[in-house]
Structure 1
């Protein structure tokens, strides 16, 4: 049972990096590719149908982490407290930008919230790299560490590349390139590499610190029946909003 839940946790974390990675990547690219108001609107419209569905993976990762590996809760929240707070604030700021940017039409209003989207995306991307480094070293190194900073930069660049590939797939030619679904799948795998690398290194530790078998059995009964529903919803989103399907429509909530 410990191995089954480790595999599920790995799928959830890698899935979050692969899916939310392009959302954050588009946010990172907003100041670079969004030279005009129209181009920024199109970039946000491209990711709008996927954002909430992708964030479900983060909720699932957090639930699995604290349910399957309860001993890590203290490690993550205590030793990484400043980083966790910074990442949560970045998440709030990024989502607030997505929700509020079109509530008013003023250039300053939109410019401010567009900047918040980019800033929040940067904070989350960079923070994930630093968190992966801390987890890979058993939370024994300082939160701000040269290798952690370097890994934060790497994750940020990978997410930016993934976001660019997503835009080239979702809105072919609009931002100077066109990419196939296969290319998007490859960039998703590349974006998930840091998370997968950390999990491979941390596998013995995680297996040794899993919750008791009785707890894992209860979690299996409570959680696993809902997995097909979540997967089906994700497939529906991707089939409904594939390229050419309302790629430039601006949802009212964004």
Structure 2
């Protein structure tokens, strides 16, 4: 296998890990208003993701760094074309992080409500725009022969891209609800599972339309298989939630998100930035760094990636126990 293909696969894995892990804490952030009824329940929600949310964002940083190093042309074209959406996502992520750190600094209810709103905003916006961006890349954007973006913002927000954004928004919300159900005890656990089932029904319809559209326009067998796995595992997760099996419900939504990400990257390969014009399409070959650079990066990734994954898995194991409002001090 060529090094360009290996690094495309590795970047796809990094994005998949980010979407699966950050997906549930985006969902928990959105649930601050939808699920929590009082301050203690809001603190329970925050405590379910408190030890892991910032670690989940490392996957995004590494994915961006790997893209910059392995495919600099891809990175340059991507960030120039999607400058506005990516800037909005960055602002939302900063607002969200500040909300996590600052809401407990003062005891006033109004202070906490404002930061709760910031957390909701910082969760909804990336959950929507990441889907819009990923679907838009697969759909293609107008690039000239120099791989420069020559379109407008309207070229990035196509019906297909908007559907992708709605899929990630609703699926992440469902994923987060099942995570809360898995990590809590008492009434909030049962309400989170019920809310996840309601939103999951909406997400299932949107996902079915999106994967059918993606597989239908691409036609590749591997894309069809990934699309089928995404729908099957998501429906299996909903069925498990209906049976009260939160662990299997969360596993189902996690596998569904991973399968949707795999479907998008399979539909994209060997391109990295398809162009809707006759020229301008970037492929893994034309966008890649030199073979020597990729070789050095491969050795570094082989040495450090298992360490990072092992450490994050250990942190999830340490904070695996359920919590409830009775664990929240006055």
For the criterion TM > 0.5, the same-fold answer is: yes
Report the secondary structure of 2:271's partner residue: helix
Q: 2:165 aligns with which of 152, 160, 172?
A: 152
Choose 237-246 or 221-230, whichever is displaced more.
237-246
Whether 2:320 is the aligned partner of 1:242: answer yes
Q: Deviations over 1:68-123 (max 9, x none)?
A: 21111221111111101000001001111111111111111000000000011011
Contact 2:185 2:324 (8 Å CA) reproduced: no
Contact 2:185 2:323 (8 Å CA) reproduced: no
Contact 1:27 1:118 (8 Å CA) reproduced: yes
Structure 2's unaligned 5+ residue stretches are 143-150, 194-243, 273-283
Q: Name the residue aligned to 1:175.
A: 189
Q: Deviations over 1:145-182 (max 9, x none)?
A: 23222221111000000000101111144331454433
Question: Following TM superposition, by how much is the alpha carbon of 1:136 offset from its aligned partner in structure 2, in angstroms?
Answer: 0.5
Structure 1's unaligned 5+ residue stretches are none
Closer/same/farther in 2, CA of residues 138 and 123 from structure 1, 3 Å limit:
same
Distance 1:28 1:172 in 2: 20
Question: Following TM superposition, by how much is the alpha carbon of 1:196 offset from its aligned partner in structure 2, in angstroms?
Answer: 2.0
Distance 1:80 1:191 in 2: 23
Report the secondary structure of 1:210's partner residue: coil
Q: Name the residue aligned to 1:111.
A: 113
Report the secondary structure of 2:51's partner residue: helix
Contact 1:43 1:167 (8 Å CA) reproduced: yes
RMSD over aligned Cα atoms: 2.1
Question: Following TM superposition, by how much is the alpha carbon of 1:36 offset from its aligned partner in structure 2, in angstroms?
Answer: 1.1
Choose 38-47 or 193-202, whichever is displaced more.
193-202
Distance 1:248 1:233 in 2: 30
Whether 2:93 is the aligned partner of 1:85: answer no
Distance 1:91 1:250 in 2: 26
* Paired residues, number: 251
Contact 2:12 2:262 (8 Å CA) reproduced: yes
Q: Name the residue aligned to 1:198.
A: 264
Distance 1:248 1:120 in 2: 28
Report the secondary structure of 1:175's partner residue: helix
Q: Name the residue aligned to 2:134.
A: 132
TM-score in terms of structure 1 length: 0.91
Distance 2:302 2:323 in 1: 32
Closer/same/farther in 2, CA of residues 210 and 138 from structure 1, 3 Å limit:
farther
TM-score in terms of structure 2 length: 0.71
